[in-house]
Amino acid sequence: MTDQHLKLAALRQDGWQLENIVKRLRAVRCEWLAQHGRSSEPDERELPSSKIMAEVVETLSGALFPMLLGPPDLRQESEDFYVGHTLDEALNSLLQQVCLELGHGLRPSLEIERQARRIVQDFALTLPELHRLLDDDVMAAFRGDPAARSVDEVLLCYPGIRAMIHHRIAHHLFRDGLPLLARITSELAHSATGIDIHPGAQIGRSFFIDHGTGVVIGETAVIGERVRIYQAVTLGAKRFEADEAGQLIKGQPRHPIVEDDVVIYAGATILGRITIGAGSSIGGNVWLTRSVPPGSNVTQANVQNQVGNAG
């Protein structure tokens, strides 16, 4: 190597001042650890991986709908073999992630692994029912959208269905005491579709989100069966209660209850622990903070009239 090449190599190596930057980054990490009462970083990764969870959900989706979401070269004669092999792969990866969440901050133990195996086994046994729930969601989208040409198109293309695949999985994990894995799963769909559903939200059968971008559904929302909502709908909290120290009280019911057969049109904002009665229709861009009885037809005009009359 010539002198010029050696000089260029040295310049490249030192040009970014990497050694200095690495030391400063370590100092920042140490400051953060000290602020949170930790003496040092763990020797190995302690928390679940969003990358692995993305692979788990994609693999599970292929196992649930093999001829549509599975590999392009799959043939019907090998479908069951593919489903079994794929499920084994997905469930083993999920088991590792469950162990990481359950064991965070604790020493590895057989009891943690046993608990993780029980959780993953329970999840695996619910997959047929989860498939039926998703079938109902797909049919709700097909029947509710005149532009849908087939159920296959709905499953392959509709962001609302992608969001619901993630949510049905995330909600099960949330109920099983895995809030971090559940949140990772829901945020993967949020990033991909613009639909933000907290994994704690309870959603009944035949749920259809049309278009979807900008939809927000909060943690304690309860949604009945055959509900349809459009883009930019918010089912949110009106206020956040705090304790005497000023810290937010978590887990309080603070999001709406939407009963069966309700339609909520684009841009509607529904806030607080209120109830939207069965069979109601909530018009576009309505701002609603009070309960409405079954069969209500709420529009911007009648809300404004009620506010005006009250004044």
Residues 119 and 257 in one domain: no
Looking up residue 70, the CATH number of its domain turns out to be 1.10.3130.10
Residues 286 and 213 in one domain: yes
Residues 62 and 174 in one domain: yes
Looking up residue 272, the CATH number of its domain turns out to be 2.160.10.10
Higher-scoring residue by pLDDT: 227, 311: 227
| Residue at 173 is within a domain | yes
Residues 284 and 176 in one domain: no
User: Crossing angle, helix 159-175 and helix 127-144, to 10 degrees?
Assistant: 150
Residues 160 and 188 in one domain: yes
Q: Rounded to the nearest 5 degrees, what angle is found at the Cα of 233, between the Cα atoms of 227 and 239?
A: 110
- Provide the number of structural domains found in the chain: 2
Q: Which residue range is the domain that position 146 belongs to?
A: 45-194
Last residue of a domain, one of 146, 163, 194: 194
Residues 188 and 205 in one domain: no
Using the predicted structure, report yes or no on whether residue 307 has a pLDDT greater than 50. no
Residues 215 and 160 in one domain: no
| Residue at 14 is within a domain | no
| Residue at 241 is within a domain | yes
Which pLDDT does position 10 carry in this prediction?
A: 63
- The dihedral region occupied by 251, where left means phi > 0, alpha psi between -120 and 50, and beta the remainder, is left
Tens of pLDDT, residues 43-87: 666 789 999 999 999 999 999 999 999 999 999 999 999 999 999
Residues 84 and 222 in one domain: no
Tens of pLDDT, residues 223-255: 999 999 999 999 999 987 777 777 877 878 999
Which pLDDT does position 106 carry in this prediction?
A: 76
| Residue at 160 is within a domain | yes
Mean pLDDT lowest among 23-32, 134-143, 149-158: 23-32
- Bridge partners (DSSP) of residue 264 are 229, 282
Please state, in angstroms and rounded to a whole number, the distance separating the CA atoms of residues 104 and 42. Answer: 10
| Residue at 17 is within a domain | no
Residues 177 and 51 in one domain: yes
Token digits of residue 226: 């055959």
Residues 51 and 177 in one domain: yes
Buried (b) or exposed (e) across 196-214, using 16+ Cβ within 10 A? bbbbbbebbbbbbbbbbee
Residues 184 and 214 in one domain: no
| Residue at 112 is within a domain | yes
| Residue at 117 is within a domain | yes
Q: Which long-range contacts (CB under 8 A, 24 or more apart) does 238-242 make?
A: 238/271, 238/272, 238/289, 239/272
Residues 137 and 253 in one domain: no
Mean pLDDT lowest among 100-104, 134-138, 167-171, 274-278: 100-104
Last residue of a domain, one of 165, 194, 223: 194
Prediction pTM value: 0.86
pLDDT confidence tier of residue 18, bands split at 50, 70 and 90: confident
